[in-house]
Amino acid sequence: MILAEFDYVRPVGLEEALTLLSGTRGSRVLAGGQSLLPGLRTGEDTARLLVDVRHLEELRGIDRTADGIRIGALTTLAELADHPVVLAEAPEVAAAARANGDPQVRNLGTAGGNLAAAGRATDLPVAAIAADAEVELAGPGGRWTVPAEEFAVSGAPAAAVVTALLVPAAGRAAAFEKTADRATRYPVCATAVRITPGGPRIAVTGATAHPLRLRGVEERLRGGPYTTEAVLAAFRAEPRELFVPGRGTSAEYLGHLAGVLAARALQRADQALA
Amino acid sequence: MDLSLNVNGRPEQFSAEPNELLVERLRDGLGLTGTKVGCDTGQCGTCVVRLDGRSVKSCLILTASAAGSRVTTIEGVTTRGGELSGLQEALRQEHGTQCGFCTPGMVMALGELVENTADREAPTEPEIREWLTGNLCRCTGYHSVVRGVQRACSAARTGIPEEISGSAAVSASAGSEPASVSASASGQEG
């Protein structure tokens, strides 16, 4: 059971949720709860008030936009993993959603929650970064967007709610690869790639302090070909301190693993493009 | 907080604290102890129930957040007469229960897979194993559970429980009923 005491409220709309969040110190957004509830139990997270947005219809749905897809924050990871539009236009995002946890966690866990819980090395942020996606937020000051790469570092402000993920369409030239920790299913390392006319975009998580883009690797691989040797060499040229050892792994191992996973992803995306 | 839930088709009204988990309401509040608590941190899957049709971990949702929803527990899977569901019967025939502690969660999780795939080809073994990532068995493993799902899917497609082709271990038990294994974990404390 959860020993921590907190209040709970279920707002009827986003506006009420924002009022509650800005009006109460120590209030937290509760969506799927798949990270927050275990965190409250272990004491890693604290809250005085949980504002449950799980039932807000206005934060649901996946829609095509002029240049991509708008994914409502309450889209579950299970919905995201199987959605035909996402599979067709942002396959790395669908694959990253599927890589999270297990079927039951994906049935409750949400896109917005997964992005906001980036500190726990969830799988969606790395795909959002490779896709050059934007995170849409709502707060007392209105609505705004933050690039996924920036959001992976800054997180959501306390009084804000993630409302959507805006993903440019890629066709099939994108892929995701992951080596999961056997016990926790969190990524030891996960990479997401997108091949664009300007060159590849390559992002990594798990092995690094936070999900991030590897611009040096992208530069070295511009124009291809994405042979395993070339990709591994491009990763070897990265500073070793980029990779953060832990859970029995060394920086050298993580750097190699990231290269292997990126090579697989690039080769798959490249084949899909051909 | 005054809350309501529909559990196994019955409307339930009660008062609960904000920090109460759904699994606590089911077991301690409503006496439905077929749902187990294993790890209490969302990893073992013994507490899986269906929430508005989807399988979820009842230790990872607040009662307050589940309020207003339709919940099905292992007690709601068997018929009123106590007859096993097709999946439970197939697991029984394939010895897919072992000590039984993980079984209610597995039945609730796998029920969603069986239903989701009812209108297409039966799930493959890798699909079944992937679906089981949220359910830990600490007895011996998953082979017999996988065979149970295959048998259930085969039975659902042909109307009769058939032997799974290519499974050597199945033929060892085919034709002779296991003597006393029951896949029904409802109401039992493991």
Does B99 map to a domain?
yes
pLDDT at A149: 96
The complex's ipTM works out to: 0.93
Same domain as B97, residue B64: no
pLDDT tens-digit profile of A102-124? 999 999 999 999 999 866 778 99
pLDDT at A160: 95
pLDDT tens-digit profile of B22-31? 999 999 999 9
Residues 6+ apart with CB under 8 A from A73: A31, A59, A110, A111, A112, A113, A136, A161, A162, A163, A164, A165
Nearest chain B CA: its distance from A20 CA (Å):
16
pLDDT confidence tier of residue B184, bands split at 50, 70 and 90: very low
Does B101 map to a domain?
yes
Which domains does chain A possess? 7-52 (3.30.43.10), 57-168 (3.30.465.10), 174-273 (3.30.390.50)
Nearest chain A CA: its distance from B156 CA (Å):
22
Q: For residues A41 and B57, give the distance between their C-alpha atoms in angstroms, rounded to a whole number.
A: 15
**What average pLDDT does this structure show over A208-220?**
96
Residue B172 has pLDDT above 70, yes or no: no
Mutate to test the interface with B, among A41, A107, A185 (most CBs of B within 10 A): A107
pLDDT at B160: 59
Number of domain units in chain B: 2
Q: Does any CB of chain B come closer than 8 Å to the CB of residue A172?
A: no
Residue with the bigger pLDDT between A161 and A140: it is A161
Does B187 map to a domain?
no
Same domain as B105, residue B62: no
The shortest CB-CB distance from A41 to any of B41, B48, B64 is to: B41
Does B190 map to a domain?
no
Give the domain range for residue B21. 2-76
Same domain as B167, residue B94: yes
Nearest chain B CA: its distance from A106 CA (Å):
9
- Interface touch B48/A104, C-beta < 8 Å: yes
Q: For residues B55 and B73, give the distance between their C-alpha atoms in angstroms, rounded to a whole number.
A: 10
Q: For residues A72 and B32, give the distance between their C-alpha atoms in angstroms, rounded to a whole number.
A: 35
Which pair of tokens denotes residue A93?
Answer: 């995002």
Candidates A30, A39, A41; CA nearest to A3 is A41
Does B117 map to a domain?
yes
pLDDT tens-digit profile of B147-158? 999 999 998 888
Q: Does any CB of chain B come closer than 8 Å to the CB of residue A154?
A: no
pLDDT at A118: 67
Name the interface residues of B facing A (CB cutoff 8 Å): 1, 18-21, 24, 40-43, 45, 48, 51, 54-57, 59-62, 64-65, 68, 109, 112-113, 131, 133-135
Residue B188 has pLDDT above 90, yes or no: no
Same domain as B141, residue B90: yes
Closest Cα in chain B to A101: B134
Kindly list the residues from chain B whose CB atom is less than 8 angstroms away from the CB atom of residue A1.
Answer: 19-21, 24, 40
Same domain as B98, residue B50: no
Same domain as B160, residue B106: yes
Q: How many residues does chain B have?
A: 190
- Interface touch A4/B19, C-beta < 8 Å: yes
Q: Nearest-5° angle of CA A210, CA A213, CA A240?
A: 70
| Distance separating the N- and C-terminal Cα atoms of chain B | 32
Same domain as B167, residue B92: yes
**Domain-terminating residue out of B13, B48, B76:** B76
Residue with the bigger pLDDT between B177 and A21: it is A21
CATH of the domain at B38: 3.10.20.30
pLDDT tens-digit profile of A63-94? 999 999 999 999 999 999 999 999 999 999 99
**Domain-terminating residue out of B44, B76, B108:** B76
Average confidence score pLDDT of chain A: 94
Closest Cα in chain A to B40: A1
Residue A148 has pLDDT above 60, yes or no: yes
Closest Cα in chain B to A39: B41
Same domain as B72, residue B90: no
Same domain as B52, residue B26: yes
pLDDT at B178: 39
Residue B170 has pLDDT above 90, yes or no: no
Helix, coil or strand: residue A207: coil
Residue B166 has pLDDT above 50, yes or no: no
Residues 6+ apart with CB under 8 A from B116: none
pLDDT confidence tier of residue A138, bands split at 50, 70 and 90: very high
Closest Cα in chain A to B106: A104
pLDDT at B168: 39
Does B51 map to a domain?
yes
Same domain as B99, residue B34: no
pLDDT confidence tier of residue B86, bands split at 50, 70 and 90: very high
Does B188 map to a domain?
no
**Domain-terminating residue out of B30, B45, B76:** B76
Residue B189 has pLDDT above 70, yes or no: no
Does B144 map to a domain?
yes
